[in-house]
Structure 1
Amino acid sequence: MDTIVTTRSLTKRYGADYRVNSVNVEVNEGDIYGFLGPNGAGKTTTIKMLLGLVKPTSGQVLLFGKKFSENRQAILKQTGSLIESPSYYAHLTGLENMRVIQRIRDVPDKNITEALRIVRLEKQKDKKVGQYSLGMKQRLGIAMALLHFPKLLILDEPTNGLDPAGIGEIRELIRSLPERYGMTVFLSSHLLTEIEQIATSVGIIHDGQLLYQGSMDELKKKHQAVISIKTGDNERAMGLLFHSGFRAAFTDGFLRLPALTDSEVAEANRVLVHSGIDVIRISEQKKNLETIFLELTGKERSL
């Protein structure tokens, strides 16, 4: 599998302030890479360095295995992007805005038709963009980024300003791009639930440093679910479970056991009931991405 995006010790410093500090990103072909972090973590600065919009203080950017600094034109021909917010001419229609980008990209009319269809703007293409809702403007920006059907699509907070229905539409759109069009997607967001539902791999950045990088499945496996058991005699129950091969910890009125299979949960319940201990409640607590993020950063910080 080819590596589409690579950064090596990528750093951006403003004075003594490190906005991005020695970040090593790796995105493979066909990935939907979720770049996750709170506002101010360094996501947009990293993306701007990927696209040559900000010059790194140190480090290297490679796209499609080539140094960006030496292959700028060739790389940008294969890359589409939407950074921060879409740019458009408000007095022009959606279609006219697309034609402006068409002339720059030198692509056929069918690309405009397909891109507008993908973002579901074909019925509003003749309406002036100044009259578009915020969500429609965001979708037009994505259509512009898709116009030449790039191999790499970089989206910075693409669901900003969208209502729940619009977020769902963009989510389904992004999910379809690798399989339908062979695109690799680099997606930044501070919305944990969005990244959790859409990304195949993830990078978590905090205060300019990359705390985790890998597949979403690997991340979740590292933070397994916990089985919580509440009984009528927790102290005695913990001893019985220990002698039966179950390791439990006692916190907040519950016995906490690491992830167990259904048959193991049933066995633990049997041990307690047969010993005359009332089992009041058994529940499974799965860690979502927000919990994992807070554990990685060590801070309960709002995203």
Structure 2
Amino acid sequence: MSQIVTTHNLSKRYADTYCVKDVNLSVDEGEIFGFLGPNGAGKSTTLKMILGLARPTDGKVKVFGKDFKANRRLILSQTGSLIESPSYYGHLSGLENMRIVQRLRDIPDKNVAEVLKIVRLENQKDKRVGQYSLGMKQRLGIAMALLSFPKLLILDEPTNGLDPAGIGEVRELIKSLPQRYGITVLISSHLLSEIEQIATSVGIINDGKMIFQGSMDVLKKKSQQTIMIKTSNNRLAQELLSTKGLFPFYRKDSLVFENFTDEQVIQANRSLLTANIDVLRIEEQKKNLESIFLEITGKERSL
């Protein structure tokens, strides 16, 4: 599988402050790569450098295996993007806006009708864009990015400001692109639930630095199961279970066991009851994606 986007020590500094520092990103062909991080983490700046909209302070960008600086025109001809928010002329119709992009990029007429159908705007194409809802404007922006049926589609927070129905529409559209059209998608978001539902691979950036990169399955494996046991005497229970080869640690008012099997739960419960230590509660807990993110970043802050 070939790599569509790679960066090497990509950095961007403003004055003495790095907003992106030594980012090594790798996006494989045919995947939906979720670029995840809090607002201000450096996602948009990284995407702008990949597209040549911002000049890197240090580092290199390769797209389709080619150096971006030396092959800028060729790379951009095969790339579609929507960064931050759609650009449009509000007094023109959706179709007229599409025609402008069509002429600028020298794209055949059939593409216009096809992408409007893909984003479900074919019945609204003659309406002035200024009268579009936020979701319709977002879909128009995606249509403009898709107009050339690029090999690579870069979307920066495409569900920003949308209602649940609009988010669902954009999500289903993006999920269909690799299989239907062979398009590789690089999508940034601060919405953990969206990335979890849409991406095949994920990169997590925080304070300008990449702190995780891998498949969604690898990230989910970090969601290890824990068993919490609360007893009438936790300290005595911990001492007893340690002699049985079971080594819990404390969390709040319970004993916590990681990767505990059903047989070990039975063993622990039986041992405690035999020793006349009352078992008040046995709970199974599993980390969700947000908990994993907070653990990886080491920061308890909401996205």
Who is 1:12 aligned against?
12
Q: Aligned equivalents of 1:68 and 1:198: distance in 2?
A: 27
Shift of 1:270: 4.3
Q: Which amino acid in the other structure matches residue 231 of structure 1? A: T
Who is 2:110 aligned against?
110
Who is 2:124 aligned against?
124
Q: In 2 relative to 1, CA 259–172 (structure 1 residues): closer, same or farther, beyond 3 Å?
A: farther
Q: Aligned equivalents of 1:279 and 1:108: distance in 2?
A: 72
What does 1:22-171 correspond to in 2, within 5 Å? 22-171=22-171
> Please, what TM-score do these two structures have when normalized by structure 2?
0.93
Question: Does the aligned pair in 1 maintain the 2:68–2:75 contact within 8 Å?
Answer: yes
Q: Aligned equivalents of 1:146 and 1:279: distance in 2?
A: 59
Superposition CA RMSD, Å? 1.9
Q: Secondary structure at the match of 2:123?
A: helix
Q: Aligned equivalents of 1:78 and 1:265: distance in 2?
A: 56
Question: Does the aligned pair in 1 maintain the 2:222–2:292 contact within 8 Å?
Answer: no
Shift of 1:285: 2.0
Q: Secondary structure at the match of 1:219?
A: helix
Q: Which deviates more from structure 2 when the two are superposed, residues 106-115 or residues 265-274?
A: 265-274
Q: In 2 relative to 1, CA 230–128 (structure 1 residues): closer, same or farther, beyond 3 Å?
A: same
Q: Aligned equivalents of 1:180 and 1:273: distance in 2?
A: 59
Q: Aligned equivalents of 2:197 and 2:271: distance in 1?
A: 38
Q: Secondary structure at the match of 1:242?
A: helix
Q: Aligned equivalents of 1:190 and 1:216: distance in 2?
A: 16
Q: Secondary structure at the match of 1:300?
A: coil
> Please, what TM-score do these two structures have when normalized by structure 1?
0.93
Q: Aligned equivalents of 1:88 and 1:218: distance in 2?
A: 39
Who is 1:285 aligned against?
285
Q: Which amino acid in the other structure matches residue 53 of structure 2? A: L
Q: Aligned equivalents of 1:221 and 1:212: distance in 2?
A: 13
Q: Aligned equivalents of 1:284 and 1:36: distance in 2?
A: 28
Q: In 2 relative to 1, CA 149–262 (structure 1 residues): closer, same or farther, beyond 3 Å?
A: farther
Shift of 1:103: 1.9
Shift of 1:277: 4.1
Q: Aligned equivalents of 2:116 and 2:281: distance in 1?
A: 52
Q: In 2 relative to 1, CA 274–107 (structure 1 residues): closer, same or farther, beyond 3 Å?
A: farther
- Superposed CA offset, 1:22-51 (max 9, x none): 111111112211111112111111111000
Q: Aligned equivalents of 1:264 and 1:171: distance in 2?
A: 41
Who is 2:178 aligned against?
178
The unaligned stretches of length 5 or more in structure 2 are none
Q: Which amino acid in the other structure matches residue 285 of structure 1? A: Q
Q: Which amino acid in the other structure matches residue 201 of structure 1? A: S
Q: Which amino acid in the other structure matches residue 207 of structure 1? A: D
Q: Which amino acid in the other structure matches residue 3 of structure 2? A: T
Q: In 2 relative to 1, CA 119–240 (structure 1 residues): closer, same or farther, beyond 3 Å?
A: farther
The unaligned stretches of length 5 or more in structure 1 are none
Q: In 2 relative to 1, CA 240–168 (structure 1 residues): closer, same or farther, beyond 3 Å?
A: farther
Q: Aligned equivalents of 1:119 and 1:274: distance in 2?
A: 65
Q: Aligned equivalents of 1:272 and 1:178: distance in 2?
A: 54
Aligned sequence identity (%): 68
Who is 1:187 aligned against?
187
